[in-house]
Amino acid sequence: MKKGKKLYEGKAKIIYATPDKNLVIQYFKDDATAFNNLKKSNIEGKGVINNRISEHILSNLSQVGIKNHLVKRLNMREQLVKLVDIIPIEFIVRNIATGSLTKRLGIEDGTVLERPLIEYCLKDDKLGDPIISKEHIITFNWLSKAQLDLVDGNLKRLNDFLLGMFRGVGIKLVDFKVEFGFTNESNKSEIILADEISPDTCRLWDSITEKKLDKDRFRKDLGDLIPAYTEVAKRLGILHEQSNVTAVNVTKLSSVKKKK
């Protein structure tokens, strides 16, 4: 698929046009950001691993009928995806209290929630992604009541699926953030899951040791982010000992080539 002009550059990904107006290329960068862009770094190989993990998860979701934007992975850093109009809301699902929830409400870190908690945040960096209620979503017409019910249903199924998938490989799914969008097809636009699902957007703890295997390693300066993400990929059966080494080496090779 021929790569056209850059349409959008976000914090961790770039979107490029393709000859098909309904499809775009999603490129995974190595950039890491946290605390609303205050903390930034470049972690070599992160984009390659997230591309693979997100491809694995989204293609499995398609197989259980959770519609999403993934068409196929194209190469180490790129996926062909359906173009969507992103809904300006971050949908967060929590199974264990940590992060902003503990700070905001004084809930003890690590509290296992009796039922999954869905939170909505407005996607607006200038405002610091404020938490909003269902009433805000409906009042400001970001979604209708029926559309919001559909998304909530999807979030519950998604959480059940991801909980089981990670539990099967010895990982606790603590919480995650996802985004949805409206497809571009003029006659039958529908709401589908978009963006990515990876250790950048989930909190993942080893089931036994509770070692963090996600972006909190960057947020909290714990180091060893690539080994942690690689561990997630290996447990999911995506990267094997050999191909993991290859993934990082290929990144190095491509950056060496560019420098020449």
* Of positions 99, 138, 246, 250, contacts ligand UDP by CB under 6 A: 99
First to last CA, the chain: 26
Residue 169's Cα: distance from chain center in Å? 19
Q: Among all chains, which residue has been given the structure tokens 């993990």?
A: 53
CA-CA distance, 176 to 93, in Å (whole number)?
A: 6
As measured in angstroms, the least distance from the Cβ of 159 to ligand UDP is 12
Task: Count residues binding ligand UDP (CB under 6 A).
Answer: 13
Query: Collapsing DSSP states into helix, strand and coil, what is residue 40?
Result: strand
In the complex with ligand UDP, the residue whose CB is nearer, 35 or 63, is 35
Instruction: Give the tokens for residue 42.
Output: 């470049």
Min CB(3)–ligand UDP separation in Å: 26
User: Which of 58, 71, 202, 239 lies at the binding interface for ligand UDP (CB under 6 A)?
Assistant: 202
Give the separation between CA 73 and CA 54, rounded to whole angstroms: 10
Contact characters 114-143, ligand UDP, x per CB under 6 A: ---------------x--------------
Determine which residue in the list 77, 172, 215, 217 makes contact with ligand UDP, applying CB under 6 A: 215
Q: Does 95 bind ligand UDP (CB under 6 A)?
A: no
Which of 177, 179, 192, 232 is close enough to bind ligand UDP by CB under 6 A? 177
* Token pair in block for residue 227: 């080994």
Return the residue matching tokens 């957007």.
201
